[in-house]
Chain A
Amino acid sequence: MASNEEILAGLAEIVNEETGLATEAVEMDKSFTEDLDIDSISMMTIVVNAEEKFDVKIPDEEVKNLKTVADAVNFIAGAQA
């Protein structure tokens, strides 16, 4: 079980690996599309890498609800519980 801080840090690493964005840019209130300029293909790559890293399942139909980094962190935390 990872804390929200640990999930955020892990997610930031995944985003950095995929897009080159600095990990510090990945903050809870940021929107993946509006603020971080992440397209749908990159988002799917991030989702699949997050599934592996946090050992959770993120259904495809759930991905569209993950608008902000906080949405993703909260979903992963909930899925781990």
Chain B
Amino acid sequence: MARKVVITGLGATTPIGGDVPTLWANALKGVSGAHTLPDEWVETYNLPVKFAAKASNPASEVLSRVEMKRMDPSTQFAVVAAREAWKDAGIEEMDHDRLAVAFATGIGGVWTLLDAWDTLKEKGPRRVLPMTVPMLMPNGPAAAVSLDLGARAGAHTPVSACASGTEAMHIGLELIRSGKADVVMCGGAEAAIHPMPMASFAAMQALSKRNDDPEHASRPYDIDRDGFVMGEGAGALVLEAEEHAIARGATIYAELAGTSVTADAYHITAPDPQGLGATRALKAAMFDGRIQPEDVVHVNAHATSTPVGDKPEYTALRAALGTQLDNVCVSATKSQMGHLLGASGAVESVLTVLAIHHRKAPVTINLENQDPEIPLDVVTGTPRELPEGSIVALNNSFGFGGHNAVVAIRSV
């Protein structure tokens, strides 16, 4: 019998809240974190997309001046979220040789990389900061969190585009089940609201161009959806072997019952229109967690608000859950905070855990005319109460490259 893994700590810094209590309150209320970017570079480069969902609270509220200087913004967010999750878990004493980190990013230290390139061109090699490499490396967030916590059972960095944060949960579960760690700080961080990634995502027509109305731009499942809204921030979850959590009398939010990762092997960016890879991921996560379709009551969907992305996820959910899908309420929380890329799976896992813990599904905003080809029961207006008894929620994440990752959260 595999070790049971539970979630005992949560942390987040997002466009709709700089900590978990604020994030949760806003997710239930339904607010938009998307706003017109005040940055000069929007006009300097005449970017086609002039808005995004920036983190609501600067990392400097938590980190010292020197910490800020020595970390890329993505790592800053990671450390902010991880510190909150660690404090929330309340682990006062443990063998840190048994504490691991699995902290993802989709893009890595893009601000550091491009700032250093600008410095090289403008001022020469002598002025390139000696900290450039450790700040830009994609394992920077995982390494910084490991240093911050003194976590010595390995620091892992899954990189699978927008599935990265969810894949971190998959790695964390495996580390504990296999006996390599007792506690894993999992999460994802992203800070890519920089003119170059903004231009790149816009070039591939992935971003909404609703410049005149940013708050209503992220509209998953709506017939008028025209792309995703770039977000930033981090989410963190403390995974813990159940016996370890019980022994120290920890508060347990939920069980991480199952996870999965699959690859489409279909197209580098386009989702498989039949959602076959996503279907396999959903089924695999349910198999992994010994979950029957009728156990599932809630899904935090990937639902980025792109014209091509939202429908294959519905097809996959239908294939994996069958008629039970009619009894499942779906929250598309990217409608509120935009798409946090490599952090999205982590932040949405935090929301999925809270939904199970409080038995309440957060709301989806901006859904005015639901796409008739996506007949999901979407939670809009007010939060939805989830049923009593043993229940399961799924969190899906899909990434460019054909990456699919699913986590299944069960009530305790």
Residues of A within 8 A of B (CB): 17-20, 41-42, 44-45, 48, 51-52
| Structural contact, B64 and A20, CB atoms closer than 8 A | yes
CB distance from A40 to the nearest CB of B (A): 8
Contacts of A41 in B (CB 8 A): 130-131, 134
Report the minimal beta-carbon distance from B171 to chain A, rounded to whole angstroms: 29
- Docked Cα-Cα span, A48 to B64, in Å, equals 22
Cβ A19 vs Cβ B130 within 8 A:
no
Q: Nearest A residue to B134 by beta-carbon distance? A: A41
Q: Is B66 an interface residue (CB 8 A)?
A: yes
B131 and A45: CB pair below 8 A? yes
B388 to chain A: closest CB distance in Å? Answer: 52
- B129 to A, closest residue via Cβ: A45
Residue in A17, A20, A45, A51 whose CB lies within 8 Å of B130: A45
Q: A20 is contacted by which of B65, B126, B134 (Cβ under 8 Å)? A: B65
* CB-based contact A48/B66 at 8 Å: no
List, in ascending order, chain B residues with CB within 8 A of A52's CB: 127
5 sample A-B contacts, Cβ–Cβ < 8 Å, listed by A number: A17-B69, A19-B66, A48-B126, A48-B130, A52-B127
- A-contact 0/1 string along B124-140, CB 8 Å cutoff: 00110111001000000
Q: Which of chain B's residues has its CB closest to A58's CB?
A: B126
Going nearest first, the 5 A-B pairs with the smallest beta carbon separation are A20-B66, A44-B130, A41-B130, A45-B130, A41-B131
CB distance from B20 to the nearest CB of A (A): 28
Complex interface: chain A residues within 8 A of B129 (CB)? 45
CA distance A18 to B65 in the complex (A): 9
User: With contacts A41-B131, A45-B131 known, is A51 near B66, CB below 8 A?
Assistant: no
- Tell me the chain B residues, 43-95 only, with Cβ under 8 Å from chain A: 64-66, 69
Instruction: Report the Cα distance A49→B37, complex, angstroms.
Output: 32
CB of A31 to closest CB in B, whole Å: 20
Chain A minimum-CB-distance residue to B65: A20
- B 112-131 to A, binary, CB cutoff 8 A, 1 in contact else 0: 00000000000000110111
Tell me how far the C-beta of B60 lies from the nearest C-beta in chain A, rounded to whole angstroms: 13
- Given contact pairs A44-B130, A48-B130, enumerate 9 new A-B contacts (beta carbons under 8 Å): A19-B66, A20-B64, A20-B66, A41-B131, A41-B134, A42-B130, A48-B126, A48-B127, A52-B127
